[in-house]
Amino acid sequence: MKKDLSNMEFKILKIICKYYPFSFPDIKDSYLHLKSFDKVIKAIEISLSKNQSLYSSTKYYNYETLNIMVMKPSIAYKNKELLG
């Protein structure tokens, strides 16, 4: 499990796991797909607000959409197409 993550990444994901109601494997898979802690947290928040799994949120919201939402939230929230 720890082989595909650096020690720092592993520790940060464990901390994220303490504060959100998703399992470590789910959070780790999301991180490996999105390659950013900010995007993982945004995917978690979207999952919680839409009452869906983290897997669905990570796969449904592509890299560009999450990038816009993390870097420029005001643009993302004004554009209803990005949020579904």
- Tens of pLDDT, residue by residue over 23-79, are 999 999 999 988 889 889 988 988 898 888 888 887 776 655 666 666 555 555 555
In a 3-state reduction of DSSP, which class is residue 61?
coil
The predicted pLDDT at position 1 comes to 44
Confidence (pTM): 0.69
In a 3-state reduction of DSSP, which class is residue 55?
helix
In a domain, 56, yes or no: yes
In a domain, 23, yes or no: yes
What lies within 8 Å, CB to CB, of 5 at 6+ separation is 13, 28, 31, 32
The predicted pLDDT at position 46 comes to 86
In a domain, 19, yes or no: yes
In a domain, 55, yes or no: yes
Nearest one of 7, 73, 11, 12 to 45, comparing CA atoms: 73
In a domain, 1, yes or no: no
In a domain, 24, yes or no: yes
The domain of 59 spans 7-83
Please tell me the total count of domains within the chain: 1
The predicted pLDDT at position 34 comes to 86
